[in-house]
Structure 1
Amino acid sequence: MDFFVLSWNIRGVRRREKKKAIRDSCRRCKANFLFLQETKVESIQLADVRKIWPRNNSDFAVSPACGSAGGLLSIWDKEFFTASEIIIKRRFIILLGSVNETNFRCGLINTYGPSVDAEKEGFLSELLHHLSQWQIPWCLGGDFNLFLDEEEKIGFTINKTMISMFRSFVFEAGLIDLPLSGGKFTWSNSREIPTFVRLDRFLISTSFNLEFPQIVQNLLDKSLSDHNAIHLSVEKVDWGPKPFRVFNSWFLEKDFEKTVVNALSNQKRRNKATKIGGLIKGTKEAIKGWSKKRGRDFQKLIPVLERQISELEIRIQEGEGSEAVFIKLCELKGKLWAQYRIEESQWLQKSRLNWNLQGDRNTHFFI
């Protein structure tokens, strides 16, 4: 499942240029969610969302700005995510719902922390209170106006108390600070002696990370804001065609040998000059076809055998047993045991548990 969140402190959405920049970024990032901070508008309508968001089937939530200060906008794809509850506060927007494809229930929070130090403790306490109300996977993104390490700031003074307070919040909430790829800082001023700080980030809970172990966050190139947008992504990895694998259990099945012999004979008959490489390739295709068909039949065989055994045992219990019935029952039980052995052999080969039986290089250290 692909999962993409774009978060950006845009510093105002009124201008056409910024709306186009947001729309282009969403399209490039294939965003399912968009978190905007500092919209600097008190009201956002559907017509405004359509100028920002490149998809048609969407929903949105707005936390209005106070005059020209602050403001939050969250937009999401309704075909991807269904929001069951929306909580709008001055400093954050909470989305509670489920990913439609997998029914994965989670919470996502668009966050914009206060810039005044005196307000930051109350902001984190309120956020922590809401996080503790639901025992679900969480994903927080936005401009926290805080940072976690002294190395995340260059220039001006560093308030170690604020760093410690933010660290305590992350620890108490059970959140993970993901590594940032593509750069170290998300905001800079435009002065002769610049200041660089990482104010924007994504924080996720452990359960969210377990659901998406390949999750990463990337710093995007700076555009029309003094903040860089950050992109949270979980993307399917295309490893190419699966390698061809022969399972040892196949050699125990009569049809396998017959398939290989027939494949070789047919190729030789069609072209006597076929080289060894061509024979191997043709035989591999025949085995793959046999394996695919066998796989469908194999999954049905065990329950069929178990049902047939039960039916024969019921006949015997009702006094209908004869020598032929007993012979048939023994035959079916033998086939069932054989099928379970084949299945067990395949799982063992798939799981690669040879080290568990034979030990590895470090075994002597633990004995």
Structure 2
Amino acid sequence: MIIISWNVRGVGSKQKRRLIKESVGRRNPDVLYFQETKVPFFKDDLMATLWKAKDAKWVSLNTTGSAGGILVAWKSSEWDLEHSWVGVFSVSVILQDKSAKFQCLISAVYGPTLNARRSEFWDELTASRQSFSGPCCIVGDFSITRFPEEHSWSRKPSLAMTVFSDWIEKQELVNLPLLGAKFTWTNGRLNSILSRLDRFLVSPEWLEAFPSVSQLALPRTTSDHCPILLPEDDNDWGPKPFRFNSSWLLIEGFSKQISEWWSSFQVEGFGGHGLLAKLRLLKNNLKQWKKSILHKRENEMDFILPELQKIDADSELWTMSSEVLGQRIQLIQSISTRDSGK
């Protein structure tokens, strides 16, 4: 089971949605969580611009102003929604896989920044946690750190940190180590301030189902938060089915290539039999095309994303210079230009 959580800081820009879709698509998650969508009413056409999964179903906490908003989405071809509820600070879903072998509770959170509201926040999450006795995962931007070392600047332990750690212990949750980065948020300035605000918390039952699970910070492309990934475990669930990606239609010359292939197929049989045979040939050609033509495009991202991650890792150790900051901006712009087909 692959889960991505990301405080995207708004999805209003077309360019930003393109970058989000590119970042998410490379990991092919089963479940997707966005915090701070800043969307008053979520619709299917907007969902399609953020995730390539054609079978996506979703539940959202809409904004009440210009901030906030949570989106929880999943692949309905692989997961059934058993129950869902929307709170003030969270959206929770109980999902069951199609084989009916695994059922879990996942709560996506966006914590309050005001201390006065944190008691209400913990009460809401406690109610969600205690509503389900099976595998549980609570994930998102908690808007608070656990320890002083989760800040890039010197800071003494606070009461809020102690309450957070005590809550995790009382709810019998496991705070998984973060791989790929030490922090998940930055103010993006030359004298950077960094914190670990985003995390996955899982129950012992989750670890029994996925004993090798970890959480990974992904490259930060279009938000001051980096996405965090709960990767798939090592279980072998069989071969992945071939899927057509509608974004291929935007690649210059693709539609013409499809027409040429289709015209060149010479098959025997009548009616549906002949059509099925041509579709099988087309599928094979598309697989080969994906390996060759798309390989170059993937290689570009395979270079850009590690470079972004390296810059962010360096910024955790020392102050980012204006030259390095400019280099990071150029890398982000190169992704935007690449995806827009310019």
Q: Indicate whether the TM-score tops 0.5.
A: yes
> How many Å separate the matches in 1 of 2:135 and 2:233?
19
| Partner AA of 1:195 in structure 2 | I
> Does structure 2 retain, via aligned residues, the 8 Å contact 1:156–1:195?
no
Report Cα offsets for 1:250-307 as digits up to 9, x if no partner. Answer: xxxxxxxxxxxxxxxxxxxxxxxxxxxxxxxxxxxxxxxxxxxxxxxxxxxxxxxxxx
**Aligned partner of 2:81 among 80, 83, 96:** 83
Q: 1:179 corresponds to which residue?
A: 177
Q: 2:104 corresponds to which residue?
A: 106
**CA offset at residue 147 of structure 1?**
1.4
> How many Å separate the matches in 1 of 2:27 and 2:40?
27
**CA offset at residue 103 of structure 1?**
2.3
1:72-151 alignment to 2 at 5 Å? 72-151=70-149
Check 1:42–1:158 CA distance in 2 against 1; reply closer, same or farther (3 A cut). farther
**Aligned partner of 2:212 among 211, 214, 219:** 214
> Does structure 2 retain, via aligned residues, the 8 Å contact 1:107–1:138?
yes
Percent identity between the two aligned chains: 29
107-116 or 92-101, larger mean C-alpha shift: 92-101
| Partner AA of 2:212 in structure 1 | Q
| Partner AA of 1:57 in structure 2 | D
1:1-367 alignment to 2 at 5 Å? 3-155=1-153, 157-158=155-156, 160-236=158-234
Look up the SS of the partner of 1:29 in the other structure. Answer: coil
**CA offset at residue 157 of structure 1?**
4.4
Q: Which has the higher contact order (CA 8 A, sep 6+)?
A: 2
> How many Å separate the matches in 2 of 1:181 and 1:75?
24
Look up the SS of the partner of 1:124 in the other structure. Answer: helix
> How many Å separate the matches in 2 of 1:192 and 1:53?
32
| Partner AA of 2:42 in structure 1 | I
Higher helix share: 1
Unaligned runs of 5+ in 1: 239-367
> How many Å separate the matches in 1 of 2:19 and 2:189?
24
TM-score (norm 1): 0.62
> Does structure 2 retain, via aligned residues, the 8 Å contact 1:13–1:41?
yes
> How many Å separate the matches in 2 of 1:49 and 1:136?
29
> How many Å separate the matches in 2 of 1:21 and 1:103?
35
Unaligned runs of 5+ in 2: 237-342
> How many Å separate the matches in 2 of 1:235 and 1:128?
27
**CA offset at residue 79 of structure 1?**
1.5
| Partner AA of 2:136 in structure 1 | W
**Cα RMSD after superposing both structures:** 1.5
> Does structure 1 retain, via aligned residues, the 8 Å contact 2:148–2:155?
no
| Partner AA of 1:105 in structure 2 | Q
Q: 1:289 corresponds to which residue?
A: none
> Does structure 1 retain, via aligned residues, the 8 Å contact 2:207–2:213?
yes
| Partner AA of 1:214 in structure 2 | S
> How many Å separate the matches in 1 of 2:154 and 2:19?
31
> How many Å separate the matches in 2 of 1:216 and 1:158?
28
> How many Å separate the matches in 2 of 1:90 and 1:74?
14
> How many Å separate the matches in 2 of 1:156 and 1:90?
32
**CA offset at residue 102 of structure 1?**
4.9
